[in-house]
Amino acid sequence: MPSLMPGMPGAKEVYGISTIREDLKLRIPPKACDRYVLSERDTALLITGFSFEHIK
């Protein structure tokens, strides 16, 4: 199980829940933007850590 302690090596960081809108836009929580120094015009690649191998 991954750690949810921001700043610790190997930790996963959780900032909130966002949904993809009908226009395919996604609101990134402000704390995540601050942490990764993202601005309105930046591009971000979002990758899931969820493994679908466990779903039957």
pLDDT digits (tens, 9 = 90+) for 7-31: 666 667 778 888 889 998 888 889 8
Distance CA 8, CA 12 (A): 9
Q: How does DSSP classify residue 29?
A: P
Does residue 27 lie within any of the structural domains? yes
pLDDT, greater one: 2 or 23 = 23
Q: Tell me, yes or no, whether 12 lies in a domain.
A: yes
* Total number of domains in the chain: 1
- What pLDDT score was predicted for residue 7? 66
Evaluate if residue 44 carries a pLDDT over 80. yes
Residue 37 lies in a domain: yes
Q: Is residue 22 part of a domain?
A: yes
**Domain carrying residue 13:** 1-43
Sign, Cα dihedral of 41, 14, 49, 4: positive
Pair 5, 18: CB distance under 8 Å = no
The pLDDT score that the predictor gives to residue 56 is 56
For 39, the token pair is: 């601005």
